[in-house]
Structure 1
Amino acid sequence: MPTLDFETLWLPAEQAYSLSLKNLGTGAIRGFRLCFSGSCQVDATAVAEGGTVGRTLSTFTELLPPEGFVLEPGATWTITIKGLGFALQHWTDGARGAYLAFDDGSTLALTTSPTQRMGGNAAPKRGVEPFPVPANAPVPVSVIPWPNHVAVSGRNAVPPGLTLVTDGAKATAAATAFTRLVEALFAVEGIVRPAEEGGMPVHLHRRDGFAAEAYEVTFSPGSVTIAASTETGLFYGLVTLGQVLRGARHFPQTYSFPAEGRIADVPAMGWRGLHLDVARQFYGEAEIKRLLAILAWNKLNRFHWHLSDDEAWRVEIDAYTALTEVGAWRGHGLAIPPLLGTGPERSGGYYTKAAIREIVAYGREIGIEIVPEIDVPGHCHALQQAIPDLRDPQEKGSYFSVQGFPDNCLNPAREKTYEVMETILRELIELFPFRTIHIGADEVPIGAWSGSPEALAKLRAIGGDAMAEAHAKRLNVITNTHGADAIEGSGAAALQALFLERVQKFLAAEGCITGGWQEAAHGNVIDKEATYLCGWRDVAVSAALAGEGYSMVVCPGQAYYLDMAHSPDWDEPGASWAGASTPEATYAFDPIAGWSAAQKEKLRGVQACIWSEPMLDRAVFDRLVFPRLSAIAETGWTQPEHKSWERFRASAGLMPALYS
């Protein structure tokens, strides 16, 4: 077996990416291609020195040495690429996985270290940034998100745990859910324990008069009482009490377990969510369940589950088994090649219907409703690999998405498109009882369907000859850079509107609310009373859409996209296209700055978004997500006048992370 050293180097002055392969073995190596993937893309117009660029697909690239090249023992082959889709900004942008593909069909995986940058490197940052609990905090108890009324005093002896005493079915269900939650997050701490083990009595009472998620915690020297009108309210009261207990137990010099007083609380916003992309990187059932537990500990109540994209299809659909047989996997020689750092081996996965039912039930138990997303009509490369007859058989030429996928959009002019969509959606509706289905609608390329006779005929019928002829001229024009959502008024927007109107009407007839990214507003055809939009571009765009009557969940990329790096520094992981945001900046961000009173009437709430391109390394996940997730949770729950960065940072280190 050959022994090789593989290194990569970013040359910022030259805007070039250099990859070097050194033969450390005793035999010559010939007849190979170097294949790599990461977050970076190599453009179709890229040029290479020392070899040539072969096949590319989004973040997958093949590099070919010169014809007849032989890598002799001790020799190094270097190939330098100019023309990446974007300049590398962070160590996670470069190659994360690489291998050699030989002419005989075999492969050899290469050990891939983080890309170095010419001009200086610090050690790559991974894992949660430490937030030490100080000796003195601005408040007597540790709670995130901070409650809206806290009036407590005195110091009780910190109890070993809590003995939950219930007076009815809702209280019992809340106690059961909380017990399961703390066992999942803090298994050895014994937060819930019987009186025989020293547990302090906690009396749970269902009482009328509270808002749906509101609660009240009352402290007395020998016991605690929690009151709420709903099971979720009682559960959230227990979460607050559990946080108070952990703070006082682990940092008694800083935080107390009150002897008396009261905490009264109600959320500022009804929708407090997290979006997770499981298409770019796959997360197993155990990871999803622990993540849901962390959401509940942060009093987040919506999980937006991004189940499909160009890179993969992740949900079992009985009617189309190829979706998971083909679309859930990638690797060398498969329909989907290695992407985003995966290697030549078959990798990926999907969620069975049984697993989804278990996850949905667990989420509902701890106050979380789950919204599935199937991203259409764009972002459908994986779907089309599994069901190839969705494409117009007479379509010619190509268009490219901003992520570098060719011809990745479902054709709105084909009846087969709706047959497949409605079949898939019916199976999804059966799995997700919240009856809110997100259909994406983002980043359709402006050249989409420009080579499809069926689409052009439909466009001619709905938009006239001039629009159809103008759209046909976009054929084979590279449109995968800049302005990915700037399609308003184009033929692509008109065709997408046709698709969205029909799919949204189908969902409404099935009793469902339709979710979409902000691009779903193109054409202004969807029923605003049965739809909500996720505003990802910036606060001004979300405000404008709210002014047009759309119900909005605000998730601006510059602050609430948790794949964005903490800073522009090379040693930080993550992306940078929307900027950088430290935990403090995320905490301070006002998602409705400048909104009018009328616009605020259309606000559903806020949502953090995790896009998984840089998340192959799970320590990168932890660094990027925590504590920024808690910062957004507090914005969704706590009234602005009660927010305090100094108070928040004093408790942030007590909040759980997914892996660390």
Structure 2
Amino acid sequence: MPALETTFVPAGGDRAMAYRLSLANTSGEALAGFRLCFSGPGQIAPTAKAEGGTIGRIFSTFVELLPPQGFILAPGATWTVTLHDLGWAFQHWTDGARGAYLVLADGSTLALATAATKFAGRNTPPKRGAEPFPVPAAPPAPIAVIPWPNAVSVSSLAGAPAGLALITEGREAEAAAEAFARLTDDLFAVEGIVRPEEEGGRPVHLHCREGFGAEAYEIAFAPASVAVSASTRTGLLYGLVTLGQIWRGAHHFPSAYGFPREGTIGDAPAMAWRGLLLDTARQFYASAEIRKLLSVLAWNKVNRFHWHLSDDEAWRIEIDAYPALAAIGAWRGHGLAIPPLLGTGPERSGGYYSKAAVRDIVAHAAGFGIEIVPEIDVPGHSHALQQAIPELRDPQEKGGYQSVQGFPDNCLNPAREKTYEVLEAIFREVIDLFPFRTIHIGADEVPLAAWSGSPEALERLRAIGGPAMAEAHARRLNAVSQSHLAEDIEGSGAAALQAIFLKRIQTFLAAEGCVTGGWQEAAHGNAFDRETTYLCGWRDGEVSATLAGEGYRIVVTPGQAYYLDMAMSPDWAEPGASWAGSSTPEATYAFDPVAGWSASQKERLLGVQACIWSEAMKERAVFDRLVFPRLSAVAETGWTLPGRKSWSRFKAAAGLMPVLYGSSGH
């Protein structure tokens, strides 16, 4: 099989940065009339130039390279192409090509072995797998719990019992016990945490009684038994999770941690919203992976799963009214409506979640006290949706504009009635699947020039903003931004058009009894009713404070600290993205989501949320490295009172927390 090696060459002296690709023909036959196609998280600017070949096509992260006319790559020979004027400097090994293939002269394809991109002059191997966090011989706390409880009063410790025998009275206690048994079986099946008394299980009595908050609990330890009390099944489950964590610490590290003989733990969350977003559009995760991730969230007492189901790169949920969404929008590959992107190969790849799978996942989450928030990202980030339903476009629209991710004309048109007809049908089916009745509609990263070539949109803009605004917006046509950050559209024609779109969608969802979520850009145009919506502040902590001051309910999720796709350090060997910088687990843990907030702003705080954007996570070992233990760090910020937090105590126990794929770092 031919192989592709790639190297990023940084700028230095009089040398400009470059990206070098070397195709080695390790087969026994000469190659002629071929094209080299590759993709990865890193975009190549449309203005890039090639040395040693020519650029055939650039589409978002997909790049096609052509050898010189008449070129023949003999067996054992290497063809090298160097790309200049990239537009931005690669920062990490995952920025480069993660998948590549040849299109041969007869139109067939040949997948290439693709090595991790190297940094010229360095030979540090790329890092994969979760960073080890060894348990110290003398940890700062006598028991292992993450997130740390509000009140711990333990008078004496002993070794861990063989396991925990759950004794229940009443339906809520039985449901909590069943959920905990499923949870421990999902995460630690062979450990036998739950076991009957005849197998050595210590009796754990579950009491459902009034007087606790919705997720609060109390644990009372005695030498021969334990009692867990709460007012809800979720509270009882969280008490059992704490008990299970204590047991695992004492069981696996008996010289470091103990199991209480006597004492109490009283606990309740600091914040109501403790969330995690998973982007399943950029990379697809099977239902089994989602279920296991939900179990990991439950072990961290995370109670919101923000499920990013659509984006430019793919559509991931079955919709009966529009079967083309799954048939076309869920798949990428050579010759398909959506080309290979972000390291996927020429083969048809991807997938979507059937309604049956969604219902199963929703029920699985509910058993662990987790509510699911689906996101259908509109009006931007809609390339896949438009590929499946092309009649959403203004037939007279002339292009174009480009999103920050390199997708042309990717926004649903606010001036077309067909837009609302389709979206209302989609949202009705989505609402039916998610009983939490909180629907996130994105509203982020609409380009400044969006709809500047649409006569329908310009006519609507003229009606709402006047001729001057419409004419100014029309002049933005074909103005392609070179920025690698989302453009600020405040006060523009794009913002005015987006506002009428958001107002209509939010009004529709409110009439359906739903809360509408959006990213911070949804505040443009003041279209949202603040009492039936919430916003996610992602740029930085300050923007969340500002929006809270304007009366919006806020979930704090800044890229600098809570975007788990950001690399853990600036080192090339680390995987991940870099546009928001880097964040070590300690920095993520230390981040204060409400630093500088006033008392009135804090009243609008819902909570915190980590985000897993999946561009760089084709390899699941990269997922493990980026997500753990930073997920637990955000979870503890959401649960534990600030004065009770301790990095040294957290770090000592972090290695006991589950890792989704179980890959260890090196």
Q: Same fold (TM over 0.5)?
A: yes
Match runs of 1:217-366 below 5 Å = 217-366=219-368
Match runs of 1:133-212 below 5 Å = 133-212=135-214
TM-aligned CA distance change 1:201 to 1:26, over 3 Å? closer
Amino acid at match of 1:649: K
* Displacement after TM superposition at 1:25 (Å): 3.3
Contact 2:159 2:254 in 1 (8 A): no
Contact 1:40 1:84 in 2 (8 A): no
- For 1:474-529, what per-residue CA distance to the aligned partner results, in whole angstroms no more than 9, with x for missing partners? 11111252552400000000000010000000000000000000000000111000
Contact 1:400 1:480 in 2 (8 A): no
Other structure's SS at 2:456 match? helix
Contact 1:445 1:484 in 2 (8 A): yes
Aligned to 2:373: 371
Amino acid at match of 1:437: I
Task: After superposing the two structures, state which structure 1 stretch, 107-116 or 147-156, moved more.
Answer: 147-156
- 1:97 and 2:99 equivalent? yes
- 1:12 and 2:14 equivalent? no
Question: TM-score, structure 1 length as denominator?
Answer: 0.99
Distance (Å, rounded) in 1 between the aligned partners of 2:149 and 2:410: 46
Aligned to 1:639: 641
Aligned to 2:577: 575
Contact 1:164 1:204 in 2 (8 A): yes
Amino acid at match of 2:7: L
Other structure's SS at 1:375 match? strand
Match runs of 1:400-439 below 5 Å = 400-439=402-441
Where structure 2 has 5 or more consecutive residues not aligned to the other structure, the ranges are none
Distance (Å, rounded) in 2 between the aligned partners of 1:378 and 1:26: 47
* Displacement after TM superposition at 1:26 (Å): 3.6
Find 1:385's aligned residue among 384, 387, 390. 387
Find 1:71's aligned residue among 47, 70, 73. 73
- For 1:421-461, what per-residue CA distance to the aligned partner results, in whole angstroms no more than 9, with x for missing partners? 00000000000000000000000000000000000000000
Distance (Å, rounded) in 2 between the aligned partners of 1:145 and 1:483: 34
Other structure's SS at 2:346 match? coil
Aligned to 2:658: 656
Other structure's SS at 1:9 match? strand
Task: After superposing the two structures, state which structure 1 stretch, 100-109 or 611-620, moved more.
Answer: 100-109
- For 1:36-94, what per-residue CA distance to the aligned partner results, in whole angstroms no more than 9, with x for missing partners? 00011111111111111111110000001112211123322111111324210000000
Contact 1:442 1:485 in 2 (8 A): no
Contact 2:87 2:482 in 1 (8 A): no
Task: After superposing the two structures, state which structure 1 stretch, 70-79 or 245-254, moved more.
Answer: 70-79
- For 1:567-612, what per-residue CA distance to the aligned partner results, in whole angstroms no more than 9, with x for missing partners? 0000000000000000011001111110000100000000000000
* Displacement after TM superposition at 1:4 (Å): 2.1
* Displacement after TM superposition at 1:21 (Å): 1.1
Distance (Å, rounded) in 2 between the aligned partners of 1:82 and 1:421: 42
- For 1:154-213, what per-residue CA distance to the aligned partner results, in whole angstroms no more than 9, with x for missing partners? 223421111111111111111111111001100011111111111110001111111111
Aligned to 1:516: 518
Other structure's SS at 2:114 match? coil
Amino acid at match of 2:623: F
Other structure's SS at 1:44 match? coil
Distance (Å, rounded) in 2 between the aligned partners of 1:49 and 1:599: 55
Find 1:395's aligned residue among 394, 397, 408. 397
- For 1:236-291, what per-residue CA distance to the aligned partner results, in whole angstroms no more than 9, with x for missing partners? 00000000000000000010001100000010000000000000000000100000
Amino acid at match of 1:96: R
Distance (Å, rounded) in 1 between the aligned partners of 2:327 and 2:68: 37
Distance (Å, rounded) in 1 between the aligned partners of 2:140 and 2:81: 56
Other structure's SS at 1:259 match? strand
- For 1:301-328, what per-residue CA distance to the aligned partner results, in whole angstroms no more than 9, with x for missing partners? 0000000000000000000000010000
* Displacement after TM superposition at 1:103 (Å): 2.7
Where structure 1 has 5 or more consecutive residues not aligned to the other structure, the ranges are none
Aligned to 1:566: 568
Contact 2:220 2:263 in 1 (8 A): yes
Contact 1:214 1:233 in 2 (8 A): yes
Contact 1:36 1:98 in 2 (8 A): yes
Distance (Å, rounded) in 2 between the aligned partners of 1:583 and 1:645: 10
Distance (Å, rounded) in 2 between the aligned partners of 1:536 and 1:71: 48
Contact 2:217 2:268 in 1 (8 A): yes
Distance (Å, rounded) in 2 between the aligned partners of 1:30 and 1:211: 70
Other structure's SS at 1:496 match? helix
Task: After superposing the two structures, state which structure 1 stretch, 88-97 or 23-32, moved more.
Answer: 23-32
Aligned to 1:551: 553
Match runs of 1:605-624 below 5 Å = 605-624=607-626
Contact 1:328 1:349 in 2 (8 A): yes
Contact 1:95 1:114 in 2 (8 A): yes
Aligned to 2:527: 525
Task: After superposing the two structures, state which structure 1 stretch, 70-79 or 117-126, moved more.
Answer: 70-79
Other structure's SS at 2:479 match? coil
Amino acid at match of 1:11: V
Aligned to 1:87: 89
Contact 1:445 1:480 in 2 (8 A): no
Aligned to 2:459: 457
Amino acid at match of 1:38: G
Distance (Å, rounded) in 2 between the aligned partners of 1:66 and 1:204: 74
Amino acid at match of 1:169: R
Aligned to 1:477: 479
Other structure's SS at 2:255 match? coil
Other structure's SS at 2:133 match? coil
Contact 1:404 1:480 in 2 (8 A): no
Q: Count residues in correspondence.
A: 658
Contact 1:401 1:480 in 2 (8 A): no
TM-aligned CA distance change 1:430 to 1:85, over 3 Å? farther
Other structure's SS at 2:580 match? coil
Other structure's SS at 1:633 match? helix
Other structure's SS at 2:65 match? strand
Other structure's SS at 2:81 match? strand
* Displacement after TM superposition at 1:24 (Å): 2.8
Contact 1:123 1:571 in 2 (8 A): yes
Distance (Å, rounded) in 1 between the aligned partners of 2:409 and 2:85: 22
Task: After superposing the two structures, state which structure 1 stretch, 103-112 or 454-463, moved more.
Answer: 103-112
Amino acid at match of 1:495: L
Distance (Å, rounded) in 2 between the aligned partners of 1:25 and 1:601: 66
* Displacement after TM superposition at 1:153 (Å): 2.2
Distance (Å, rounded) in 2 between the aligned partners of 1:111 and 1:147: 49
Contact 1:587 1:631 in 2 (8 A): yes
RMSD across aligned positions (CA): 0.9
Contact 2:165 2:202 in 1 (8 A): yes
Find 2:587's aligned residue among 585, 588, 605. 585
Contact 2:159 2:251 in 1 (8 A): no
Distance (Å, rounded) in 1 between the aligned partners of 2:327 and 2:522: 30
